[in-house]
Amino acid sequence: MIHYRKILELHDEGISLRGIAASTGNSRQKVTEVLGLAEKKGLVCPLEEEMTDKWIEEFLFPEKTLEASGRQPLNFDYIHEELAKPNVTLSLLHHEYEAECRVNQKIPYSYRSFLRHYSNYADKYKATLRIRRKPGEIMEVDWAGSTAFIIDRDTGEKVKAYVFVATLPCSQFSYAEASLSMDSHYKSLRNLRFRDQPSINI
């Protein structure tokens, strides 16, 4: 049995790899692997109460929970990284996944299962990215992604539109508005209305 939580907590206390291995009964190689993955994925102490050994294992090695299904495993790290790129959606990534399954002669997960498994992974990933701020203390604003277009009703012409997005980090409430220019000045952001619709690319 791998004592994931104890490994992370002992490492946070400054215990050596040899000491952690002796204390947990896990090999130094396994301890090193766990610590490397935890650092890569941003899982650091102090850990939340719900982050049990099982929780941590599913977060660090999500493919383990899918191995028994006989289907092509999902590469959650790849999916997560690709979604950060412009114009990449979960639908597009599922198409790529299906194409990979055909090449490897594997059975793919359905789109609904693909979304469910990734959503579970993303929820765990979000739990490790704790924002140490008071709710409502700050607001993140930016011009979002690729340029959008609107159609001029009179001429039929496509006109560029820029999407302004403001998000409250703790609640993930977001406000979005299209503008014809990025030079627009928003004088009173406090009057923006936020909707309980965290954005997700599908």
The answer to the question of residue 196 being in a domain is: no
Residues 82 and 107 reside in one and the same domain: yes
Residues 13 and 42 reside in one and the same domain: yes
Domain count for the chain: 3
* Plot region of 42 (φ>0 → left; ψ -120 to 50 → alpha; else → beta): left
Amino acid at 69: S
Q: What is the pTM of this model?
A: 0.48
pLDDT digits (tens, 9 = 90+) for 52-87: 998 888 888 877 766 656 688 888 888 888 988 878
User: So what's the pLDDT on residue 200?
Assistant: 38
Query: Which residues in the chain belong to E strands, given as ranges?
Result: 140-143, 148-151, 158-168, 173-179
Residues 73 and 56 reside in one and the same domain: no
Asked whether the beta carbons of 107 and 72 are under 8 A apart, the reply is yes
pLDDT digits (tens, 9 = 90+) for 143-186: 877 778 888 888 888 888 888 888 876 666 888 888 877 775 54
Last residue of a domain, one of 41, 60, 79: 60
Cβ neighbours of 179 (radius 10 Å)? 13
Residues 73 and 124 reside in one and the same domain: yes
User: So what's the pLDDT on residue 182?
Assistant: 77
Asked whether the beta carbons of 199 and 169 are under 8 A apart, the reply is no
Q: In the numeric block, which tokens belong to residue 198?
A: 């965290």
User: So what's the pLDDT on residue 66?
Assistant: 67
Task: Show the domain range for 15.
Answer: 4-60
The answer to the question of residue 133 being in a domain is: no
